[in-house]
Amino acid sequence: MRTSTIRPDPGSRRDFWLHFGILVAGAALYLIVRIAIEPTTGWLRFHVTDFLAGMMLPSLFALWPKPPESVAKLLSSLGGKLILVLSAVLIWEVAHPLLSDKSTADWRDVLAYLLGVPVQHLITSLGSDRTQLPQASR
C-alpha cells in the first residue's frame, strides 16, 4: 500500500500544545496592542488585532476535542481554514454592522483576518506531528 502526502495528526499531544501556544501568544500580543497602542490610531491599532484573530480562530477550532468530520476536513487545509475564517468574518464585518450602530464594516479588517490564516497554517504545518496516511493503490 502506498502512502499519501504527510499530513498533521490533529489529535496528537504536540499539535494540541502548538495550537494552544498560538492562542496564548495571540492573546498576549492582542493585550499588548490594546494596552500599549490603544491611544494611537492607524493600521497597527486597528488591523494587527484582526490579523491575530485570523491566526487564532483556526487554532481555537483545532482544540475542539471531537469535531464533526466536516469541521475536521476544513481544518486540514489552508483553503478550508480560509473558508472557516471568512465565514466568521462575514458575520462580524457584514452582518454585525447591519445590526449594530457601534460596528462598521471595513475591507481592510477582512484582509487582515485573511492574512493571519496562512501564517497560522505555516506555523502549524512546520511544527505539527506528521503521519503517513494510507493511499489506495492504482
| Closest among 124, 110, 109, 106 to 14, alpha carbons compared | 124
Please state which of the ranges 25-29, 39-43, 126-130 shows the lowest mean pLDDT. Answer: 39-43
pLDDT tens digits for 76-119?
Answer: 899 999 999 999 999 988 898 899 888 888 899 999 999 999 99
The DSSP string of 15-51 is HHHHHHHHHHHHHHHHHHHHHHSTTS-SHHHHHHHHH
d(CA 85, CA 90): 9
Reading phi first (left if > 0) and then psi (alpha if -120 to 50, else beta), residue 42 is in: left
Residue labelled with grid coordinates 488585532: 49
Residue 7's pLDDT is: 45
Residue 67's pLDDT is: 78
Greater pLDDT, 129 or 91: 91
9: confidence class by pLDDT, cuts 50, 70, 90: low
All structural domains of the chain with their residue ranges? 10-129
Does the pLDDT value for residue 59 go beyond 70?
yes
Does the pLDDT value for residue 40 go beyond 80?
no
